Amino acid sequence: MRLFNTLTNTLEVYAPQDGKTVGMYVCGPTVYDNVHIGNLRPILVFDTLRRYFEQYKGWEVIHVQNVTDVDDKLINRSIETGKSVEEIARNYTKAFFDLVDGLGVLEPTHSPRATEHVPEMIELIRELETAGFAYARDGDVYFRVEAVQDYGKLSGHRLEDQEAGARIEASEKKENPLDFTLWKAAKPGEPKWASPWGEGRPGWHTECVVMSRKYLGDRRDIHAGGFDLAFPHHENEIAQAEATMPPPFFRFWLHNGLLSFEGEKMSKSLGNFAYAKDVLEQFDAETVRYFYLSRHYRKPLAYSTAGLEAARKAVQRVNNLLADIEATHRGKTDAGFGEQGEAFVQSLEVFRAQYIEAMDDDLNTSGSLGAIHELVSAIGRFRQSAPTQDHGALRVAVDAVRELGKPLGLFQPRATGAVHGIEADLIALLIELRGALRAKKEFELTDRIRDRLGELGVVLKDTSDGTIWSR
């Protein structure tokens, strides 16, 4: 498998150092608000990478995703609302995990909170100060970037090319405007911890260094996040870590492209965003996953309702076909299949090989979805042309689609169960009404009933014995 390593700016062959265990750190949320739909892209992309590692490579993944529960944004939200930082962090942390659970995201191996690791952060800052990489000023502590010879090697933001710009906080306390904060002296009403420099709190860039080293140890294989984190956050992580340990801090750095809205990066600061929870009230989780994975993770992605509608139709087409085949063959004994069915089953390996080739090529999920859609088209053609005795091969093909969709979080069997009472009666009534409309040749209305039921997860199949339905 090859992955694009931002650190070297090249595609490199990736494998775990011990051949079986992957250590992966993915930057998590700052829990001062509900996440917007752009924040979900790294969550879904690297959930897919983990699933693929585990299912197709057979590797164990130690997946660490932090929660930043102390930060300037949380403090500002506390001032705005009058609620404590702890209450805000607690509420939005729960909202975040409820949201990603609804999206089918695998639970991280570790989800450490920044506030749980402040003593270790203080220890790291003391180590940096002792080694000459940090200095204190009036209760604040700054990192001395000029002490790092290769600062900027991840992002390309070399010191000699930088100026004190919009993203750099200038201060008379700093030796260099580019020096970044490791420890912030406490202000009235802010969360604070005792430290050698007085009461205060850690800087954002220090948190991830401590937590990744604690939970991954020497298995620091992959550090991932959005491209907007490459500088300054990830660059400053590397500077701190490699000032106190031999490089590399992480072997591979993976960055996903950003979402855009009307040609601009989607962000809360610009006001051009949509909350993920609101989008998920309009579109189901599978549609949202498909929308993200239909484009290569490193490319920018334009958010649009039209794009999500197209994703919904693509997902429905596949799910409806699979459900239809399963409903048709439910309860039938598999008596095998003939020569044509055998040849079709063997041809499935071609699509599986195309899928794996795409996924191994820097997690090319758009290519892997293409392989799945080619397989679905082949199933449709075979279904139309194959002798009845060969239709047992269709169930093998359905299993193949579900296998390929699993790392993507797509096309899996939906929860079934007995349908009782008014729900079953209403479905039966709609089928009866649809039959009456068909008799009058009002096909536009019959199609609308079928399509709307399909959107709700109810698949209709017209047979010589009447219309049957299934989940």
The DSSP-derived string for 304-340 is -HHHHHHHHHHHHHHHHHHHHHHHHHTT-------HH
Q: Which of 104-108, 232-236, 429-433, 466-470 has the lowest mean pLDDT?
A: 466-470
| Long-range contacts (CB closer than 8 Å, 24 or more residues apart) made by 420-428 | 427/453, 427/458, 427/469
pLDDT at residue 468, rounded to an integer: 72
pLDDT at residue 407, rounded to an integer: 98
Residues 6 or more apart in contact with residue 350 via CB below 8 angstroms: none
Q: Is 369 helix (H, G, I), strand (E, B) or coil?
A: helix
**Confidence class of residue 469 from pLDDT cuts 50, 70 and 90?**
confident
- CATH 1.20.120.640 maps onto the chain at 319-408
pLDDT tens digits for 274-325?
A: 899 999 999 999 999 999 999 999 999 999 999 999 999 999 999 989 988 8
Q: Which amino acid is at 156?
A: G
Cα distances (angstroms) measured from residue 398 to each of 191, 273, 380, 413, 469: 54, 38, 11, 10, 18
CB 149 within 8 A of CB 156: no
pLDDT at residue 428, rounded to an integer: 79
Give residue 452's region: left, alpha or beta (phi > 0; psi -120 to 50): alpha
pLDDT at residue 471, rounded to an integer: 67
pTM of the model: 0.86
Nearest to 134 by CA among 98, 167, 175, 74: 175
pLDDT at residue 325, rounded to an integer: 87
CB 3 within 8 A of CB 11: yes
CB neighbour burial string for 283-306, b if at least 16 within 10 angstroms, e if fewer? bbbbbbbbbbbbbbbbeebebeee
Is the CATH code 1.20.1600.10 the one for domain 319-408?
A: no
* pLDDT of 415 over the 60 cut: no
Cα distances (angstroms) measured from residue 192 to each of 86, 118, 343: 12, 10, 69
pLDDT tens digits for 145-198?
A: 999 999 999 999 888 777 544 344 556 789 999 999 999 999 999 999 999 999
Angle between helices 365-385 and 339-360 (to 10 degrees): 170
Instruction: Provide the β-strand partners of residue 405.
Output: none
* CATH level 3 topology of 2-282: Rossmann fold (3.40.50)
pLDDT tens digits for 38-77?
A: 999 999 999 999 999 999 999 999 999 999 999 999 999 9
Range from 257-271, 379-393, 416-430 that averages highest in pLDDT? 379-393
- Please tell me the distance from the alpha carbon of residue 424 to that of residue 416, in angstroms, as a whole number: 13
CB 382 within 8 A of CB 343: no
- CATH 3.40.50.620 maps onto the chain at 2-282
Q: What is the DSSP pairing of strand 466-470 with strand 459-463?
A: antiparallel
pLDDT at residue 164, rounded to an integer: 45
pLDDT at residue 432, rounded to an integer: 86
* pLDDT of 464 over the 70 cut: no
Residues 6 or more apart in contact with residue 47 via CB below 8 angstroms: 105, 106, 409
CB 380 within 8 A of CB 321: yes
